[in-house]
Structures are given as structure tokens and as C-alpha cells.
Amino acid sequence: MTTSPSPGLYVHIPFCSAICPYCDFAVTTGGSERRGRFIEALLAEIGRDRGSALDGWDPFDTVYLGGGTPSALPVDELGRLTAEIGRRLPLADRPVISMEANPEDVTSQTVAGWAQLGVDRLSLGIQSFDAVELAFLGRRHDPAQAVRAVELSLASGLTVSLDLIYGLPEQSPPAWQRNLERAVELEPHHISCYQLTVEPGTAFARRSRRGEWNAPGEDDLAELFFRTHEFLATAGYPAYEVSNFARGPRSQCGHNRKYWEGARYLGLGPSAHSFDGRSRWWNHSAEPVWRSVVEAGGNPEADRETLSLEARALEFVMLGLRTPCGLDLGKLDGFEPEDVLRRNQRVLARAADEGLLSVEGERLVPTLGGMARADAIARSIELRRSRGFGGC
Ligand code: SF4
């Protein structure tokens, strides 16, 4: 598959003021002393000698500060990070810097400080505009703070994205739609809508095991999903990925697009993943383990895998089918489009009959229903190397 010309840089900041009951990211709480040690370790990881690992990589044209809660760090500490990144890593002339922020951290001072550091894009963890839903999700902000955070961020001139969560137990379609309406009224550039899932090891999983969880049924979830896409498209936010909606191409998240398009990326910080087009590797997940390795001058990589051509193709197909443009089979390395189409004639015809996708030349284009079932469709497609391909 083709890679975009420039890779992206991801930096994981694992600290949060409390752990939300649904969260299964590599996150932790910790006071200023522990956060200070983390920053020093991250600076050391940024400056680490990578040997030839980045040989042949173009400069990074996107930087994504994610977490965790990057906005929980003081602005001057974030400034030390961005300065060190600029000094030690190859950056494009004007990389787009994105940062995740929680509403309770957004003030006119912090948002001005982030803009001064060169942050272009804020992804705000709003999740809901309803006080009861926010309390259920264990969030630390209220609806008024959510609105204020969006307004302050937009007033500062940043590109603003809102994260929302749907599919809460007993959440009715009208209740979810009120969240969407509130989001659209605020006129952000971008909205992400994620379905609440109960992940192993979370507080919600424990509640679920105790029988205290009234999960929405599949039909209810499907209704919320379709309502989300229809409402946002009508409101001027068409989907460009199954969970992501933007006012126009310039409002889309260029960094996240790299993941979907098979681009290279380097990840720094605990749990961060990297990909060079063929192999993927990832750092130790627990912050103390990651930090102790870095403090000792070591490589915090926990493990790596080399993806076979077929595994890379499967990922490319899955990710492509999550986008309304679908995927161009001509971009699958080592596969002839006609060969893939011929081998999968029956599977693709069935998917088309079920209203899940259409075949347009060498392109597989999913419907909305197809995007919702992208993984299952991709797994049903037989991907075997074409004859005469030389291998990895
Ligand atoms: S604020 Fe975000 S990253 Fe932190 S615990 Fe909550 S969901 Fe997870």
C-alpha cells in the first residue's frame, strides 16, 4: 500500500486527574513530583540516539500530543517538550500540532499559551453536554464548562474538535441527538463520536460482571449510529471516517488520517506505538516501567512485530472500508486489483446485495452500513499474494 509522503509523530502523556470508568488507555494519576520525572524521561526519550531507525523517513509534518491528558501539564512544561522535539527530531517547516485537552483545563490563559507554543488543533474531551451522563462517565467537568471550553478554544483561533460518546445504558436516541445538536450549535470544525464499549479491566467491566450494566441492544446502537451520521451530514459535518466528521477537508485530522492511510509514525512515551511501513513496535505501557528504562539510558521498546504482506493488506482494507471513499485496490502492495476482484467475486457480490458496498472500478466503496461492519467485511475478503510478487 502507498504511504503518505510524510510521517507523523505521536507523544503520549499518560497523566489524568482521575481515571474514567470506561478508559482502557495507558493512563495514571500522579502529583507534580511524578509528572516532573516523567517530563525529564520524555525529554530523554526524544533525544535518544535512534541509530538508523529513521533513515529514509521524511520530516514529520504532524505532531500529536495525546494521552492521558496533555492539557493537565503546565504550559511551560509542554513548551519544553515541543522545543526539544523541534531541536532533536526532523520536522517539516510548519508541522500541524494537535493536542488533546479536557474542558476543565481550558482557560483563556492556557489556550493562549498552547496557541503560542504552536498548537494548531485542540481535541476536546467533551463526551456529553448532559450533567447526568457526564457524572455517569466519571468526567470532572459540567455542561457549562464544556460549552465554555469550546467557546474559548474557538475564540483563540485554533481548529477545534469535540469528542462525544454515545451508547450509554438507557440513553435514548432523542437524548443523544440533543448532544449532537448542542455540539453543532457551537460550530466546531470537527466532531468525533465514539460508541461506549466496556473494555476488560475497567471499572465499567467490573460493574458489568456484577450485573449492574444495562447495555443497549444492537438495534438501539444501530439506530444511534445511523442517526449520528444522518444528523451530522445534514448539519454540514459529513463523515470522512466511521467515527469522524468534519466541516470540510481542511478541518479533518491529518495526523489520524496517516494511521488510516498506512503512513509511517513514531510514538514516544509509555505505550506509544510506531510503524515504519513494515514493522510495528511499541513502548512499555506502565509509566514507571517505561520511565525506569529510559532513566537507565535504555530503549523503552517493549516488543515489535513484522507484519506480513497479507496482514498489512488486511489492515489497509479494514481501515479503507471505514472511510466513505473506500479503498483503492490499486494501492495494495503485492496484489493485482483484478486478481483480488476475481478471487472475491462471490463475497463482494453478496456484500453488494446486502447493501454494504459497491465495486467501482478498482475501488471498494462501503455504504454507511458497510462502514459499520468494515472489519467483518475485510475478514471475509481473501487476500493472497499475486503470482510473481517478489516478497517483502
Ligand atoms: S480523561 Fe481521557 S485518557 Fe484520562 S482517564 Fe478519562 S478517558 Fe482516559
pLDDT mean by block of 10 residues, the chain; 392 residues: 75 97 96 96 96 94 97 97 97 97 98 98 98 98 98 98 96 96 98 96 94 88 97 98 97 95 95 96 98 97 96 94 95 91 96 98 97 96 63 30
Please give the C-alpha separations between residue 11 and each of 68, 94, 358, in angstroms, as whole numbers: 10, 18, 38
Give the pLDDT confidence score for residue 215 in this predicted structure.
82
Which atom of ligand 1 lies closest to the CA of 102? 1
CA pair distance 143, 145, nearest whole angstrom: 5
Confidence (pLDDT) at 4:
53
Q: Which three cell numbers stand for residue 61?
A: 509534518
Cβ atoms of 339 and 28 closer than 8 Å: no
Task: Please name the residue whose Cα sits nearest to atom 6 of ligand 1.
Answer: 20
In this predicted structure, what is the pLDDT of residue 5?
73
Specify the pLDDT at position 360.
Answer: 97
Which CATH homologous superfamily contains domain 8-260? tm_1862 like domain (3.80.30.20)
Q: Kindly report the backbone phi and psi dihedral angles of residue 157, in degrees, each rounded to the nearest multiple of 5, phi listed first.
A: 90, 5
Any ligand 1 atom below 6 A from CB of 27: yes
Pocket test for ligand 1, best of 13, 17, 23 (most atoms within 8 A of CB): 23
Q: Which of 126, 217, 232 is nearest to 172 (CA)?
A: 217
Query: How much of the chain is helix, strand and coil, in % rounded to 5?
Result: 40, 20, 35
Helix (H) or strand (E) holding 241: strand 239-241
CB 16 within 8 A of CB 27: yes
23 CB under 6 A from ligand 1? yes
The pick from 13, 25, 28, 141 for probing ligand 1's pocket by mutation, whose C-beta has the most ligand atoms within 8 angstroms, reads: 25
Transcribe 290-335 into DSSP letters: HHHHHHTT---EEEEEEPPHHHHHHHHHHHHTTSTT-EEGGGSTT-
Strand 273-275 versus strand 357-360 pairing type: unpaired
Domain residues of the chain, as ranges?
8-260, 309-380
Nearest CA to ligand 1 atom 5: 19
Atom 2 of ligand 1, nearest CA residue: 68
Please tell me the predicted confidence (pLDDT) of residue 241. 97
The pLDDT value recorded for residue 2 is 47
CB of residue 67 inside a 6 A radius of ligand 1: yes
Q: Which of 281, 305, 378, 387 is nearest to 338 (CA)?
A: 387
